[in-house]
Amino acid sequence: MYFCGSDGYWKHGDSQINESVMQEWIDVRKDARHVARERAAARELRKSAWWQRQIEAGVCHYCGRKVGAAALTLDHVVPVARGGRSNKGNVVPACDACNKSKGLLTPAERILAELERQADRPDTEPMS
């Protein structure tokens, strides 16, 4: 979930993302025409034989779980709201959970947030 600040920037508020990442602002300056055009292109892409081949195995690109073709969503690797396009090089099949948790982040940003979260985790047992 993202929250819009008064300055027009979006802040991530997903509890699965590191708190320090939640404090960072992500620059999202949506172009309504671009978003509408790319959403229309995504609807057409979902109807294509290429997309049907992508989802036929029913496996999420991000977590690797087999959820079935009907449960997969079309995820934009670079989100449309951040300038991403609805083309074969920027869309992957994703389960609903992965698509929602990714939000407006790119996969690289998600990995960095997870690494930072792990680095900030205090040791649970003192070393002897």
Q: Is the pLDDT of residue 21 over 50?
A: no
Comparing 3 with 81, the larger pLDDT belongs to 81
Helix (H) or strand (E) holding 64: none
pLDDT at 17: 45
Largest CA distance in the chain: 60
Comparing 114 with 94, the larger pLDDT belongs to 94
Verdict on whether the full-model pTM lies above 0.75: no
Say if CB 73 and CB 55 are below 8 A apart.
no
Dihedrals φ, ψ of 114, to 5°? Answer: -65, -45
Q: At 75, list the tokens.
A: 């995820």
Instruction: State the chain's mean pLDDT as an integer.
Output: 80
Say if CB 16 and CB 98 are below 8 A apart.
no
Which domains are delineated in the chain?
30-103 (1.10.30.50)
Find which of 27-31, 43-47, 96-100 is predicted with most confidence, using mean pLDDT.
43-47
**What is the C-alpha to C-alpha distance for residues 48 and 122, in angstroms, rounded to an integer?**
48
Classify residue 123 by its DSSP letter.
P
How many percent of the chain have pLDDT more than 90?
50
